[in-house]
A and B are shown apart, each in its own frame.
Chain A
Amino acid sequence: MTFTFPSLFFVWLLPLVALPVLIHLINLLRHRRVSWAAMEFLLDSKKKNEKSVRIKQLLLLLLRMIAIAAIVFMLAGPILQDHWSRLFGGSNVHHVILLDDTGSMADQWANTNAFSRAKSVVENIIRRASRESSRQKVTLLRFSDAALGKPPEILRQVAADALVDKLSELSGRLEVTALGAGPLEGLELIEKRVKPEADESTILYLVSDLRAAQWQQSPAIAQVLERLNGNGSEIQLVHCVDAAHGNLAITHLGPVPGQQVAGISMRMAVEVTNFSDTSATNVPLAIEQTLPAASNAELHEMAALGSIKIARIEPGESVTRSFDVTFSSPGEHVVAASLPPDAIELDNRRQSVVEVSENVPVLIIDDGGEDQSIFLRLALAPSARVKTGIRPRIERSTFLRSGDLDRYHTIYLLNISELDQQEIKNLEDYVRAGGGVVFFAGTQLHRQFVNDALYRDGEGLFPLPLSSPATLLVDRLDKAPDVQLQKDHPIFSRSFGDSSNTWLQSIAIRRYYAPAKHWNAADDASVSVIAKLRNGDPWMVEKTFGAGRTLAVLSTAAPLWHNWGRSDPSFVLWALDTQVYLGAAKVARPERQVGEPLRVDLPTGEYQPVVGFIAPTIPTVEPQQKGDLTQVHATQSEADLQRQVAEYGTVLRTGIYEALLSPIDGSSEVRRFAYNAALSESDLQTLDQGQLRQILKDVSFEYLRAEDLLVPSTRQAGFPLAEQWWFFLILVCVLVVEQLLAYFAGYHRAKKKDHRR
């Protein structure tokens, strides 16, 4: 603590505090002398009251001394030592600063943002340390560096003017990354790399926005802090955000499962989440897409597609809206959605790369006999005028042996009689890699072959063992439809989900392939019966196999064993939906977020081993500028010898990244990747001191607000005690108690009563 007028305190305090004692002594000298007769009663009273009178007198003296001391104290202008003075005073100190530069630090309010405050705090710490006479060292580590395994920006450097200069140069480069990371990695790195030295004390500053989501989900943070505590480190949690601010974020943007074919309208979904405490109303959502004309592989321009207004989003809720978009040309197109500005800018825009193909190739294997393939082919691609985007190719089963199956989104096997080992292996590899296969039964389907080669006790592609074709007996008393199915299943929901049509009732099954008697669907978790017959036997059974799926329809594709598809369009809808459902893995692109690595797999021998990566530009800073081109040499993949991998590294900035590939035929190929802000950084709920204490029960730490460490040097740092209302309150209380005590101790003059008549 310091004083504005120290001499007042140190010179005058003692004499003034001694004043009551002095007055008491003077009073003793000046006392009135009374010659008294009734001494007996006075002595009696004195004897009885001596102890209480003495205590009251001492208390009174003490209170008066306190009151005088408080007044002198107040006049001297006491200033509590601020955090700076306390932290820097004394011996050699190692200041370890862990700076949060993750996405949520972009939180902005009132012309400032959390990160600029954090930077000021860091600058202040280093500047202050450089002014100290004792040896002060500084280590600065960013969350992003820790997450990426990079060394600290500043490691154990002596705080001097050189470091201050370095910091001001560094400060310009320090910016918020879109990374989603917590403090754990940084703390672990500090624990590992920054060992305390013998003659110095360590202060760890965690300069962060202390987001609730990060701290509450990671109990390991408390454990690391506890260990650091145990190593003798003092922990300072510096909170850079004044309060939790409302934030809207686009949390998903991508195509709804369906055919992504040039010239055919496709549906996309966008999800907006409200991370505020209040509901958001009339949220405008702007949608953009790449210009149809911009087929230029290197530059793409965005054009407004329209806007969506979301009427209301309740706090903590997400709302999904879908919109249609048509791309005229095949290739990788970009769709972007953006929200108006709010606390966090990064999550207001989300981009998605949509791969649009010329058509969807599907393979129909029909070994002949009943020519069922025509019926299915007509369902998938009716005519040139009715575009579904699907291009079926009908082949015999031998095609499976040598053909490139990977390019087909789905393979339909109709009434196959037998496949050899190679064909089965190719088919299994295809499904494992994400393909979809549909088996239709028929008269040629051989039970022995299915059970031994395709089912293989649950190891193979086929979901169930078969026994023999059976007839579904007609029961005229039973009014239930022949088929019962999961109406909410994606392949049925469009055709049968709506109960207003009678399509399901009109299906009549005559024959089907009965399953083996011992088979029970519940035994295998990867298998599910999605449609069964009136008698309880399965009709359609689905199985997940690797990344793909297979579907066994225990009936013919054409209406031979049933009447499905003859009188209503439900079969066509089913076929199209099944195609989407099973081919989804082929078109699905993972949503990438900042912090994940960007790597490109290349089949060895098809591409030149050099890949150029173009990072996105910052649109506000360099519009229409092409980003930096980074050439990366592809290396042999360890997992697959047939492939090479070109790795760009971890992505730190949102946007569209382009990989320029050079096939050996001399053409060029561009692959685009949309990297969006980490979802975990959108929730701006922060922790207050009480919650932190609850989470860090066994950790000794100090909670500071950034303002505490951002005192301008022009103002005397500290906390002016005498300007606090509670100080006056205490003083008044002391004076009131003093007066009350003085009254009860008999130091107030009583009115002299006149008894004379």
Chain B
Amino acid sequence: MPDSKKYLHPEVVARIDRLVLRARHIVEGFLSGIHRSPHFGQSVEFLQHREYVPGDDLRHVDWKVWAKQDRFYVKQFEEDTNLRTTLLVDVSGSMQYGEGPLTKYDYGCTVAASLAYMLLRQQDAVGCVSFDEHVRSKVPTRSKRNHLGAIVKALEVENPRDKTDLYKILRQVAEEYPRRGMMVVISDLLADREGIIRGLKLLRKRGHDVMVFHVMDDDELDFPFNGATRFEGLEDTQVINCNPRSLRDGYLNALQDFLSEMRRGCTSNMCDYDLIRTSQPLSAVLAAFLSNRLAMHHRK
């Protein structure tokens, strides 16, 4: 397992140009180390036989095959789609920041594509909404294997714009995706804080499970700048000329307030919240997703 993980570092992932390949690379890399679960889904549609191993449910043993061949085989069925996931990916101007191999936007898209690939691979239905100031593109929730292409296409945007009111976006999504499912928000959340919390609350009220991947760059979290620097806003025209070290403490305090508020807002609304650094391996995001999902399952 550790060997496969080394291909999931952003530096490696960044070398793969095509997002689809990137997603596949990540997910395959991630899953290759995981034990195949003996629990296959329950469905009417037969998929295959498999030799019995101790621990398999005796209910699934194909007694007919045993009668014919005097061997124990278990029947496996194709599981029905029971999860509808919508990926809400922030593609606004602020996501364009990134000093490492991947910008926040790249990272977010990669995460989204990887999740989509993984979910489609599990026969789950995945939809996607990319947004900045408005919803830029929408992909309906489907579980077809070739649906990944549509999602990847939806993530490609040009001329990203500001995002000001995330509530408006989330309300629009809630209305357009009325069936209950899972909403995965991938964003840096640099917008009106109250609007974000209200939007998440709305999604929860509509019965969605909400998972927030808060993507931040290392520079944004650590503010390691030295020397005279001119900071130019990515989403607005504001400019600050300063000696960054003199403002670092104040900046980090304000950032911590923001992060705490976001975490508190998510937790109070039963949303899963994960702060993701763009320098983190992508497998961590997938692992977080899976563990969150398991937790949700248990909550239910």
Taking Cβ atoms with an 8 Å cutoff, the residues of A that contact B are 27-28, 30-46, 48-49, 53, 56-57, 745-750, 752-753, 755-757
Complex Cα spacing A585 to B281, Å: 124
User: Is B250 interfacial (CB 8 A cutoff)?
Assistant: yes
Contact: A45 with B228, CB < 8 Å? no
Complex Cα spacing A56 to B246, Å: 10
Contact: A31 with B240, CB < 8 Å? no
Contact: B246 with A35, CB < 8 Å? no
CB-CB under 8 A from B62, the residues of chain A are none
Q: Which residue of B lies closest to A38 (CB)?
A: B220
CB-CB under 8 A from B94, the residues of chain A are 37-38
User: Is B14 interfacial (CB 8 A cutoff)?
Assistant: no
CB-CB under 8 A from B137, the residues of chain A are none
- Which of the 9-residue segments B74-82, B145-153, B230-238 touches chain A? B230-238
Contact: B279 with A39, CB < 8 Å? no
Taking Cβ atoms with an 8 Å cutoff, the residues of B that contact A are 93-97, 100, 104, 188, 190, 217-218, 220-222, 224-236, 238, 240-251, 253-255, 258, 277, 279-281
Contact: A746 with B243, CB < 8 Å? yes
CB distance from B12 to the nearest CB of A (A): 12
Contact: A35 with B232, CB < 8 Å? yes
Complex Cα spacing A49 to B279, Å: 30
CB-CB under 8 A from B231, the residues of chain A are 34, 36, 39, 42
Contact: B247 with A49, CB < 8 Å? yes
Complex Cα spacing A342 to B46, Å: 131
CB-CB under 8 A from B254, the residues of chain A are 40-41, 44-45
Q: Which residue of B lies closest to A31 (CB)?
A: B228
Complex Cα spacing A32 to B258, Å: 26
Contact: A46 with B236, CB < 8 Å? no
CB distance from B213 to the nearest CB of A (A): 16
CB-CB under 8 A from B238, the residues of chain A are 39, 43
Complex Cα spacing A603 to B225, Å: 113
CB-CB under 8 A from B220, the residues of chain A are 37-38
Complex Cα spacing A45 to B277, Å: 22
CB-CB under 8 A from A38, the residues of chain B are 94, 190, 220, 251, 255
Contact: A46 with B245, CB < 8 Å? no
Q: Which residue of B lies closest to A48 (CB)?
A: B250
Contact: B279 with A755, CB < 8 Å? yes
Interface centre among B234, B241, B254 (most CB of A within 10 A): B254
Contact: A35 with B97, CB < 8 Å? yes
Instruction: Report whether over half of chain B's contact residues are helix, strand or loop; otherwise say mixed.
Output: mixed
Q: Which residue of B lies closest to A53 (CB)?
A: B246
Contact: B222 with A53, CB < 8 Å? no
CB distance from A30 to the nearest CB of B (A): 7
CB-CB under 8 A from A35, the residues of chain B are 96-97, 232-234
Could you write out 20 A-B pairs with CB less than 8 Å apart?
A27-B227, A31-B229, A31-B230, A34-B230, A37-B97, A37-B188, A37-B233, A37-B234, A38-B94, A39-B233, A39-B235, A40-B258, A41-B255, A42-B240, A45-B254, A746-B243, A746-B245, A746-B247, A747-B245, A756-B218
CB-CB under 8 A from A42, the residues of chain B are 231, 240, 242, 247, 251
Contact: B250 with A40, CB < 8 Å? no
CB-CB under 8 A from B235, the residues of chain A are 37, 39
Contact: B247 with A45, CB < 8 Å? yes
Contact: A32 with B255, CB < 8 Å? no
Contact: B241 with A28, CB < 8 Å? yes
Complex Cα spacing A746 to B188, Å: 28
Total cross-chain contacts (CB, 8 A): 129
Q: Which residue of A lies closest to B104 (CB)?
A: A37
Q: Which residue of B lies closest to A748 (CB)?
A: B245
Contact: A746 with B246, CB < 8 Å? yes
CB distance from B74 to the nearest CB of A (A): 40
Contact: B228 with A36, CB < 8 Å? no
Q: Which residue of B lies closest to A41 (CB)?
A: B254
Partner of B222, one of A31, A33, A44, A755: A755
Of all A-B residue pairs in the complex, the 4 with the closest CB atoms, nearest first, are A45-B250, A746-B245, A37-B94, A41-B254
Q: Which residue of B lies closest to A752 (CB)?
A: B224
Contact: A34 with B281, CB < 8 Å? no
CB-CB under 8 A from B243, the residues of chain A are 53, 57, 745-747
Contact: B250 with A755, CB < 8 Å? no
Contact: B241 with A45, CB < 8 Å? no
Complex Cα spacing A27 to B228, Å: 6
A746-B248, A747-B245 known; A36+B280 contact, CB < 8 A = no
Identify 8 new A-B residue pairs, CB closer than 8 A, beyond the known A37-B104, A45-B254, A749-B227: A35-B96, A37-B220, A38-B251, A44-B251, A45-B247, A45-B250, A753-B222, A756-B279
Contact: A36 with B226, CB < 8 Å? no
Complex Cα spacing A35 to B240, Å: 10
Complex Cα spacing A756 to B102, Å: 13
Contact: A745 with B228, CB < 8 Å? no
CB-CB under 8 A from A755, the residues of chain B are 218, 221-222, 277, 279
Q: Which residue of A lies closest to B229 (CB)?
A: A32
CB distance from B247 to the nearest CB of A (A): 4
Contact: B227 with A32, CB < 8 Å? yes
Partner of A28, one of B228, B249, B277, B280: B228
Complex Cα spacing A650 to B236, Å: 104
CB-CB under 8 A from B190, the residues of chain A are 37-38, 40
CB distance from A671 to the nearest CB of B (A): 98
Interface centre among A30, A36, A49, A752 (most CB of B within 10 A): A36
Q: Which residue of B lies closest to A32 (CB)?
A: B229
Complex Cα spacing A747 to B246, Å: 8
Contact: A32 with B280, CB < 8 Å? no
Q: Which residue of A lies closest to B225 (CB)?
A: A34
A36-B234, A45-B251, A56-B246 known; A749+B226 contact, CB < 8 A = yes
Complex Cα spacing A32 to B227, Å: 8
A31-B228, A32-B230 known; A757+B247 contact, CB < 8 A = no
Partner of A745, one of B93, B246, B279: B246
Contact: B224 with A49, CB < 8 Å? no
Complex Cα spacing A505 to B97, Å: 128
Partner of B241, one of A31, A56, A747: A31
Contact: B218 with A31, CB < 8 Å? no
CB distance from A49 to the nearest CB of B (A): 5
Q: Which residue of A lies closest to B236 (CB)?
A: A39
Complex Cα spacing A304 to B220, Å: 106
A31-B229, A32-B229 known; A753+B224 contact, CB < 8 A = yes
Complex Cα spacing A752 to B233, Å: 23
CB-CB under 8 A from A39, the residues of chain B are 231, 233-236, 238, 240
Complex Cα spacing A35 to B238, Å: 10
Interface centre among A31, A32, A33, A39 (most CB of B within 10 A): A39
Complex Cα spacing A39 to B227, Å: 18
CB-CB under 8 A from B248, the residues of chain A are 45, 746
Q: Which residue of B lies closest to A744 (CB)?
A: B246
Contact: A33 with B218, CB < 8 Å? no
CB-CB under 8 A from B224, the residues of chain A are 750, 752-753
